[in-house]
Structures are given as C-alpha cells and as structure tokens.
Amino acid sequence: MASRLASRLLLRRRPTATISILRSCSHVRHFSTQLLEGVHRYSKPTGGRNVLSNASPYQLWSRSFASENGDLVEAVVPFMGESVTDGTIANFLKKPGDRVEADEPIAQIETDKVTIDVASPEAGVIEKFIASEGDTVTPGTKVAVISKSAIPNEAPVSPPEETSQKETPPPPPAEKDKVEEKSPKVESVKKQEPKLTTPPLKSSPSEPQLPPKERERRVPMPRLRKRIANRLKDSQNTFAMLTTFNEVDMTNMMKLRSDYKDKFVEKHGVKLGLMSCFVKAAVSALQNQPVVNAVIDGDDIIYRDYIDISVAVGTSKGLVVPVIRDTDRMKFADIEKGINNLAKKANSGALSIDEMAGGTFTISNGGVYGSLISTPIINPPQSSILGMHSIVQRPMVVDGKIVARPMMYLALTYDHRLVDGREAVLFLRRIKDVVEDPRRLLLDI
C-alpha cells in the first residue's frame, strides 16, 4: 500500500518536476550563452539578474588581426625556410587603394637565398602598408592592412580636384607683383642669394678635381649579393683550392646535335643543348672518381652514392645554383627539361630554398658570356666545380695535319685536402673522352 501511495504522489508531482527540470535547463543554457559571449566574471545577483561584464576576451584577442566586424585583414610575412630567419622588403607590387585578389602578391621580400612574395589573405582593397621598403622583417611580421568591403581607390578622381583647386589660385601672382613693387627690399634680398651660393663652387688649382656627387649612386647591397660574397670568401678561406685544365674537341658533339636536334624536339618537346651532354659526362666521371663527389665533414669523409648536380644560373640579382636531383638516373631529355624549368624559375625569382640546397657537384658555363678560360670557385659544401667556356675555332693537329676545330677549355677546381691531382686529372680526362666521343656513354666504356 505504501508503495502504491508513493507512486501516485510521484505521478501527481511529475508536471512540477518537469517544470523544475526545464527551468534548470534554461539556466544552464543561459549560462552557456554567457560563456560563449566571453564572460569570465560573474557578480552576485542584484535585483534577480546577473550583472555581466562587457569585455570579451575573444574580441580583445581578435582586434590585432581584424576589426570588430571582421572587415579588416592583415597580410603577414610567410615562412621563409628552416635556415632563413629574416629578410628585407625589396619592393611593393601594389599601392594603397589598389584592389587585390586572394593569394595575389602585394610585396616581395629578399632573403640571402631566394625572393619570397607576401600574398593577400583575402580579396579586398589595400588600406595601408604597415612596413616600408628596406625594412628587415621576420616570419609573421605584419606588412599591410586590407579591407574586404572598401571600394578601390578613387585616386584618379581626387587628384584632379586638388590640382584644379591648385590651378585656380594662379590669379594671385598679380597681387604678389604689386607687393613686390611696393617692397623693393625683397628683390634686393633675392639678388643677394645667388651671390651667397657662388663662392663654395670655386676651388683652388691645387685641389684634386673629383667627380661631382650627382654622378655617383649609393644603394644598399642586396641580401643575395651579400650571401654570395660571404660564401665565396668562406670558400677561399676554407678550401685548399687547386685548378686543373684541359681542352675538348667539340666536333662530334656538335655534329650529334645538328643531326638529331629536330627529331629530339619532336619526341621530347625540348631542344638538345650542351648542358645535358656535359651533365651526363660529369655523371660518368663522378662514378669513375667517387672521391670528387665526396665532402669533408670534420674528421670524416662523406661519400655520396647519389649525384645531384648544381647548375649555375646568372640572374639580374646575382648568381644562383639550383640543383638537378638524381642525375645518374635521368636521360638527356629529363635533364634538359629540368635545366629549362630551373632557369625560368631563377630568372623570375621563383626558386625555393629546397631547389638550391643539397648539390654534390657544380657545373658553371661561363662560355655563354664569352669567357675563354677561368678558375671557378668551389660552391660550399661541395668539393669541386667544373667550368665550361666558349667554343672557339682553333688550329689543331689531326692525323698529322693542321685543321680548324671547335675547341673548348675545361677547368676543374677541387679541394686538394680531399682530392689529389691524379683523381682530378683522371676526372677531367673522362669528361674529355665522353664529350669527344658520345658513343662511350652508350657502350659504357
């Protein structure tokens, strides 16, 4: 009986229990909305309501990145690479008031290795630039503020108004003339000004005649040029560099190119150049003399079982050395495509740091600029570099007769601490044999 009475009482009180549960749920829901609004202070109830703090931590945190309505966004310096910590703003590609699209470059940052673009995170109008050209910036530095809802700059309209306003005042010059007539003292002062400036221009005959400063220009050295200068000087100070020379008869190689250049383009879509021939010859020579592909690391010698050849490319900003990976596994067409791709990126400043790191051997072709002979400098941390030069018709003795042949001088600069003269001469001799008779590559002899 007692249990039945208890169950009846519970049934009767269910509506009130349900109401209390719903009320508690509404309180929880109200409290959760307060938390989402960023309330972190609760004051004691006054008058049956909770007093809420107006400050929102999320809003305070987000103001440094966007406005309260989310209209403003900021373009920041991107990640530059593991070994690059800062850069210099070289130039701005846009101006305040210009319209930009998402991921469109608005500025260029020059590092000691590559040039990096600062892209707009959203489409909009550039409101202002926070940094200036020449500033040193690090990843995450704010460069520009972009408004997503602003209208592009009406600069073409506003300046004419200003100019028109400036052009309307020309009538006052007449009044100025009257004032000048009334006050002749002003004219006398103006006449004395040129007299004050003339004496400094006079110089005694004994003083040396230096060129005027107007014919001199002082500009800051680009970071890439600083990096090149430091690396070359470090190379001279570190390596025991020695250069050996040889000459190559290019007759057979040039005949091979002329005979198959059209078919090569038809099949592979790229021209057959000399660089791919010398890269394949260098691969063969490195396989015959592995020590040339090695490097000194402290008290150890690291021998590489792979061949990544760096190709020096001259650009307007300086010499860059992109790397062709695994050239020992590549064919002529693959090498030519790789060289063309890297050369285009180098001239446009689109090379990445990874594309210039990790080479084991370098080839530099100074012949494209007309160099007859030179001594190239090793590209650290490699141990050797091959220098190609211009092809010149020279008299040569062939089968007891003097004939004109297209000849090229080759130069191999190597680290004498690791590579002996014997290995260096044999290395260069192998390149000479392969270039003069390309059939050796086919027969592997």
Check: CB of residue 375 under 8 Å from CB of residue 386: no
Check: CB of residue 407 under 8 Å from CB of residue 392: yes
Check: CB of residue 74 under 8 Å from CB of residue 120: no
Residue 58, φ and ψ in degrees, nearest 5: -65, -40
Which DSSP letter does residue 49 get?
Answer: B
* 3-state DSSP helix/strand/coil % of the chain, to nearest 5: 40, 20, 35
135, 262, 326, 420: the catalytic one is 420
Check: CB of residue 292 under 8 Å from CB of residue 383: yes
Question: Among all chains, which residue has been given the structure tokens 């007449």?
Answer: 174
Q: Using CA atoms, how far apart are residues 34 and 38, in angstroms rounded to an integer?
A: 7
DSSP-derived 3-state class of residue 389: coil
Check: CB of residue 326 under 8 Å from CB of residue 306: yes
Check: CB of residue 361 under 8 Å from CB of residue 371: no
Residue 416 is among the residues annotated as catalytic for this protein = yes
Residue 40 is among the residues annotated as catalytic for this protein = no
Check: CB of residue 98 under 8 Å from CB of residue 126: yes
Q: Using CA atoms, how far apart are residues 321 and 330, in angstroms rounded to an integer?
A: 19
132 token code pair: 């200036």
Residue 250, φ and ψ in degrees, nearest 5: -90, 15
Supply the Cα-derived Rg of the chain in whole angstroms.
Answer: 37
86, 98, 334, 416: the catalytic one is 416
Nearest by Cα to 225 from 318, 357, 130: 318
15 φ/ψ sector (left φ>0, alpha ψ -120 to 50, else beta)? alpha
Catalytic residues: 416, 420
